Amino acid sequence: MSALIIDFPGPELTDSDRTLLNDPAVAGVILFTRNYQNTEQLVKLTTDIKDTVKRDLLITVDHEGGRVQRFREGFSAIPAMGEIEQVGTSEAQQAALARELGWLMASELLACGVDHSFAPVLDLHGPSEVIGDRAFSADKGKIVWIAQAFIRGMHEAGMRATGKHFPGHGTVVADSHIAVPVDERSLEEILASDAAIFAELAGHVQAIMPAHVIYPKVAPEPAGFSPYWLQTILREQFNYSGILISDDLLMAGATVAGTVSERAEQALKAGCDLLLVCNDQAAAKEVLAQVTFPAPRVDAVQALKGQSAFNSLAELKGSQRWKNAQQLLQRFTRTQ
């Protein structure tokens, strides 16, 4: 019955944090920049979570690269994914760059005790205010093979992959963090463009995160609350059998589904296995108090657990592959 992924406010756990995280309905924790000081502190924090809270708690982060990278000092500066096709001069080179960046991002996190990064973004590069260069490309075909290489690198590091934001957030302008985006395209248009990427990569990712976007010509609710999108299209038509993770239920794009508890219930009913409730412990407590979590469809925590090949970050940084990746990073012009 564990389904909720929540956060806490500081760089170390308090007793009240431990109490909240030990609730049977809590499946994982998501870390933010406020939880990070340096790599030594992060290792201590993740060890504390595993030793004093729950050893099976999933430790997650949004650490894609570019402007979405929660940990900076002590970590490699991963470029935005949109830079890969600009720097690589051939398809083979772009795939090689993506593979090494996926490996590097995942390896450093795993070596510090972080199980999972919610990556990669599979949206098309388009007019979206929030996606932008987080996307690999404006070309759906390029996204498929560049993302596939990035995912391969993550897997080689020992980390599972989460594709987001199904069925596509890149072609709608509004930012679902602060607004309720509406995409007026038909189902046929979406399936032929944005969603086609997810169809191609459904067998390569272990989790998919739906968008808080309403596609009114397809379904009345945002995709993350829609049985039609999650069951009829994703599971049945795309034959996807992995984990479904809601985007943060406190984002503005989710508010159309009612109170935070009602949002949680609707997301579960639509088929989400894990629910994110971020940056508001009172809201997380409300969900824990008011929502009855069903028996899980699968053991989502174990399905997304990572396993590092290195015993420490120092050991990783001593490896030849990590050193080679640092040389690769010099090819990217950083804009952060």
Name the one residue in this structure whose structure tokens are 């001069």.
89
Decide: helix, strand or coil at residue 64.
Answer: strand
What's the one-letter identity of residue 258? G
Could you tell me whether strands 63-65 and 68-69 are parallel, antiparallel, or unpaired per DSSP bridges? antiparallel
CA dihedral sign of residues 163, 166, 167, 171: negative
Which residue of the set 23, 48, 175, 177 is catalytic?
A: 177
Tokens 């809201």 correspond to 283
Residue 62 is a catalytic residue: no
Active site residue 63: no
CA 100 to each of CA 88, 141, 149: distance values in angstroms, whole numbers, following the listed order: 13, 20, 8
> Using an 8 Å Cβ cutoff, are 179 and 252 in contact?
yes
Closest by Cα among 126, 79, 123, 38 to 330 = 79
Burial class (CB in 10 A: 0-12, 13-18, 19+), 220: exposed
* Catalytic pick among 7, 183, 247, 273: 247
Where in the sequence numbering do the catalytic residues fall?
177, 247
